[in-house]
Structure 1
Amino acid sequence: MDLRTVGETGSTNTDLLALARAGAPEGTWLRAERQTGGRGRQGRTWVSPAGNLYASTLVRLTPVDPPAPTLALVAAVAMHQAISTLGPGQALQIKWPNDILSGPAKLAGILLERANDAVVIGFGVNLAHHPDGLERPVTSLAALTGTAPDPGAFLDVLADAFARWLGTWRRRGLAPVRERWLASAHPRGTALSTPAGVGLFEGLDETGALRLRLADGSVRVIHAGDVFLI
């Protein structure tokens, strides 16, 4: 495992994608103390003041690995575990596929990007700060607990958790990751707003896709798109 830190960059995902194309190995991590061009899903801007975690890691896919999109669940359970370790006592939940919430408020997010056999996974965690005035509520560990862990120390815990869950995903497939994800997520029956409409959370299918029960009793399977708690 190779953990690198820079003072400032545009985006750790962009930088690590470039390193991947240049031959960087799996297990490379890049953390920035501050980002000037951080982004979330669908190109959204990710506000990046110093004191939070902005880090990306690289996975090199092999022909026998489970499907690459299921790495979103691997990343989610690893991040949930890391936050729970350093912010004990908080009622944290995973929201499909890989946001971490405290109540209705978003605490952390993940962005996966791929270039050939390289999957770069970016982690953003509000440790010391969180933005105000957004459409959806957000929070930080400092707001929840009164203190914020050092981002470098947080990365050590996260990198270890991710390595362990990545190993499980490779050795045993998606099933144990999916089981841990479900145990850490909002419960079945939670009302959700999705691209397929409003419905109730019915768990995940065997591929990690979201199962949504609609008002007419039918179940839709959602593979991508924004999902919000109601």
Structure 2
Amino acid sequence: MEGHWLIADRQSAGRGRSGRVWSDGFGNFMGSTAVQLASHETAPQTLALVAGLALWDAVSSMAPGLPGLYLKWPNDLLVGQAKLAGILLERVGQTVVVGIGVNLAAAPDVPGRETVSLAALGHAIARDAFAAALASAWAARLGAWHAGQWPILRSAWEERAVPRGTLVSVNDRDHGMIMGAFAGIDADGVAQLRLADGRTLAIHAGDVDLVGDPTPPAAQGDA
């Protein structure tokens, strides 16, 4: 039911995007909520970005001043190049289930990927306190999405994302492995990649990885 959260102490069969194994950890946040879709609303895939915004809001409120906090398309929250949290959406009919995992107490060891926890960064945050902050942030951002404010949410997401011009590699289902500069998202939340020859390629699905550190962002707004 929309507005409610299911929060787990532990998970024995967690998974991430593309069926990857996802490891839990006691003291981390593992929660799911649901969204009921209406026919007139914005493309459902944008909910991953709305969830990312709420996640950014919650983390920045609980760990103020945390440097290098970025959203990475389509569903990760990073500190520098290290993954702090992830989002997974699944649709069943007119319901979208939004699952979120956050490394509060411990970061899993993921081969080939850098991970980090808030505890390792000096922010000891209780799971239930974080859950309350996230639920509040999600309610606000989802309410705006339902109210047709996706253009505002899109701008807010881009302000908190890895900056335009950041070099990334993409394993795209249509084009294979490609490299280019992140060029933001379009009106439907689709990632844009600027190639070396000047063309812009739309990335509808795929794994996006940073190549080196993100470019320092401009001052972030209050959207």
* TM-score normalised by structure 2 residue count: 0.89
- 2:159 alignment partner in structure 1: 183
Residue of 121, 135, 145 corresponding to 1:144:
121
Q: Which has the higher contact order (CA 8 A, sep 6+)?
A: 2
Aligned equivalents of 2:81, 2:73: Cα separation in 1: 13
Residue of 30, 40, 45 corresponding to 1:69:
45
- 1:116 alignment partner in structure 2: 93
Residue of 10, 31, 45 corresponding to 1:55:
31
Letter in 1 for 2:112: E
- 2:182 alignment partner in structure 1: 201
Letter in 2 for 1:70: T
**TM-superposition CA deviations, 1:165-221 (whole Å, max 9, x none):** 011111133101111100101111000101241000111111111110011110001
**SS of match in other structure, 1:143:** helix
Residue identity (%)? 49
Coordinate RMSD, CA, aligned: 1.0
Confirm or deny: 8 A CA contact 1:141 1:148 kept in the other structure: yes
Q: 1:213 to 1:65 in 2, by over 3 A?
A: same
Moved over 4 A (4+): none
Aligned residues: 205
Map 1:6-21 to 2 at 5 A.
none
- 2:74 alignment partner in structure 1: 97
Aligned equivalents of 2:3, 2:110: Cα separation in 1: 36
Confirm or deny: 8 A CA contact 1:128 1:140 kept in the other structure: yes
Residue of 163, 166, 169 corresponding to 2:145:
169
**SS of match in other structure, 1:139:** coil
CA-CA distance at 1:131 after TM superposition: 1.7
- 2:216 alignment partner in structure 1: none
**TM-superposition CA deviations, 1:20-69 (whole Å, max 9, x none):** xxxxx211210001111111101111111210000000111112221111
Confirm or deny: 8 A CA contact 1:66 1:173 kept in the other structure: no
Residue of 125, 135, 141 corresponding to 1:159:
135
- 1:14 alignment partner in structure 2: none
Confirm or deny: 8 A CA contact 2:89 2:97 kept in the other structure: yes
Q: Which runs of 5+ in 1 are unaligned?
A: 1-24
**SS of match in other structure, 2:154:** helix
Q: 1:83 to 1:212 in 2, by over 3 A?
A: same
Letter in 2 for 1:213: R
Confirm or deny: 8 A CA contact 2:41 2:148 kept in the other structure: no
* TM-score normalised by structure 1 residue count: 0.87
Aligned equivalents of 1:70, 1:133: Cα separation in 2: 27
Residue of 207, 213, 220 corresponding to 1:226:
207
